Amino acid sequence: MENKRKKPILLTAFGGNALIRSGQKGTAEEQIENLNMPMKQIARLSRKYRVVITHGNGPQIGNLLLQQESCDEVPKMPLEIIGAQTQGQIGYMIESSLETALFETGINSEQYFATLITYVLVDEDDPAFQQPTKPIGPFYTKEEAAGLSYNMIKTAKGHRRVVASPKPIAIVAHREIKKLIEMDFIVICCGGGGIPVIHKERKFCGVEAVIDKDLASSVLAREINADIFVVASDVDGAAIHWGSPDQRLLKKVPLDEMEQYIQEGHFPAGSMGPKVESIRQFFSNTGNRGIICKLEDIEKAIGGKAGTEIIK
Ligand code: ADP
Ligand code: MG
């Protein structure tokens, strides 16, 4: 009999393109259709691995914010509640497409799933709160922006609301997540980087911020002792001299060489920076495999034939 307890744990962090491809509006049909290819891979991988899935929520939270900004008749919800909504909607779409993929591949029709509303602890004194950097939601004209009570920044395409992006310290329910994995659930969690909370006396309180989903996933990967951590996005991996004629895709990179590239500034904050940092932290702390790859290449990357991986 198959001994599921012995299967290694695979944590995959999905980027925005797993659900909405560039140029798409993000209809429900599009998102379900897009999930088909990645979930087929996850279904096949679930034969060999116990699977944990994390994901981004940028476009989904953007659409919900736009919906609420377009209507004054119902009360506006704070960011943490909208974040929770996206964890629910995306978790549902992932569960249902993964279930279909498992069924179609004839793998396991009795797989259990658990999507968790996930709280992620941040530090109230994180300097990020003094300097909000993460743009969210719709674009506004200068006049519209002036009438809003949010912190705003000016971007190339217009004015946007901006919030802090503090460092994740711990996934509040990591022990429970570990238990669910041990009970053979496929766990979907840390959506959009999780709901940022701080400790206030003896309880947790939600705060207005957005945690980077790759950094939150890295904390979780460490806490649940993942054997492999894959960050799946829309590029083949991390490149040095990105966007210049000298651009070169990194394949297997020794840790000290990667640290050198980080210092030289090859990976910008808000996109490739946190991905590289997330596998760097994971590898330095556990010695386990952390890989950045293209959504299409998850299985190939696990087989050592695609993506960017840090080695000794
Ligand atoms: P995700 O939604 O998967 O988190 P992001 O847009 O945040 O994706 O990050 C991936 C993007 O990072 C790529 O599409 C690419 O345009 C950009 N990028 C910036 N610097 C680099 C680099 N050095 N190597 C590869 N991609 C980079
Ligand atoms: Mg990103």
**What one-letter code names the amino acid at 200?**
K
Specify whether 265 is catalytic: no
Q: Counting ligands in written order, which one lies closest to the CA of residue 22?
A: 1
User: Is it the case that residue 236 has pLDDT exceeding 80?
Assistant: yes
How far apart are the two ends of the chain, measured CA to CA in Å?
Answer: 36
What's the CA angle centered on 80, arms 19 and 10, to 5 degrees? 45
Q: Counting ligands in written order, which one lies closest to the CA of residue 244?
A: 1
> How far does residue 106's CA lie from ligand 2's centre (Å)?
33
pLDDT (mean) for 195-218: 94
Tell the residue number behind the tokens 């299985």, with chain if given.
Answer: 299
- CB of 48 closer than 8 Å to CB of 7: yes
In this structure, what are the phi and psi dihedrals at residue 20, rounded to the nearest 5 degrees? -130, 120
3-class DSSP assignment, residue 16:
helix
Of 268, 267, 263, 308, which is closest to residue 290 (Cα–Cα)? Answer: 308
Taking each helix axis as running N to C, give the angle between helix 79-104 and helix 28-45, from 0 to 180 degrees, rounded to the nearest 10: 60
User: Is it the case that residue 156 has pLDDT exceeding 90?
Assistant: no
Tell the residue number behind the tokens 């395409």, with chain if given.
Answer: 157
Please choose from 271, 279, 298, 308 the residue to mutate so as to test ligand 1's pocket, defined by most ligand atoms within 8 A of CB: 271
Read off the pLDDT of residues 170-206 as tens digits, 9 standing for 90 and up: 999 999 999 999 999 999 999 999 999 998 888 889 9
Specify whether 3 is catalytic: no
307 lines ligand 1 (CB under 6 A): no
Please choose from 231, 233, 308 the residue to mutate so as to test ligand 1's pocket, defined by most ligand atoms within 8 A of CB: 233
Give the Cα separation of 192 and 58 in Å (integer): 7
- CB of 298 closer than 8 Å to CB of 38: yes
The CA–CA distances, whole Å, from 145 to 66, 141, 228 equal: 14, 6, 44
Amino acid 66: pLDDT: 93
- Atom 3 of ligand 1, nearest CA residue: 15
Is domain 2-121+171-200+209-307 classified as CATH 3.40.1160.10? yes
Could you tell me the two tokens for 103? Answer: 């069924």
Read off the pLDDT of residues 297-307 as tens digits, 9 standing for 90 and up: 999 999 999 99
- Residues near 147 by Cβ (< 8 Å), separated by ≥ 6? none
Task: Please identify which of the residues 56, 57, 194, 275 carries the catalytic annotation.
Answer: 275
Give the Cα separation of 59 and 110 in Å (integer): 32
